[in-house]
Amino acid sequence: MANKHTIILMQTSQNRSSRTFMDFGSISQAMDGICRLYERKLKDLNPSIQNITYDIADLYNFIDGLADMSALVFDHTIQGYLPYDREWIKHRTFNHLKKLAMPSGR
């Protein structure tokens, strides 16, 4: 699933005009993009803090706080996109961050 084109669809508020998308070359890049989006929001909310830390529960709260978030992942076998929900995104971000935290070589 590493190199599957992924589109993250999201709506940041109840206002339909807040709908947007992010386009990535892989699921891993999409999960990085979601984390960067959250980190950017943290920096905007805390401009005077140099090093901001957060845990997975904080990231989940951010994802759950959006009006909507889903993913479309290209599947070569059907030559189309498969939809995934917010819970799938949370599970994938957790696994992605866990891999990043592991020492290399494991």
Domain ranges of the chain: 6-101
What number of other Cβ atoms are within 10 A of residue 28's Cβ? 19
pTM equals: 0.87
- In this prediction, residue 21 has a pLDDT band, given cuts at 50, 70 and 90, of very high
Whether residue 105 has pLDDT greater than 50: no
pLDDT of 82 over the 70 cut = yes
Among 100, 80, 67, 97, CA closest to 5: 80
Contacts with 78 (C-beta within 8 Å, 6 or more apart), sequence order:
none
Find where tokens 């992010």 sit.
22
Whether 1 shows a pLDDT value over 80: the answer reads no
Reported as a single tens digit per residue, the pLDDT across 30-40 is 999 999 999 99
Q: What is the mean pLDDT of the chain?
A: 92
Q: Which pLDDT score is estimated for 104?
A: 65
Q: Which CATH architecture has domain 6-101?
A: 2-Layer Sandwich (3.30)
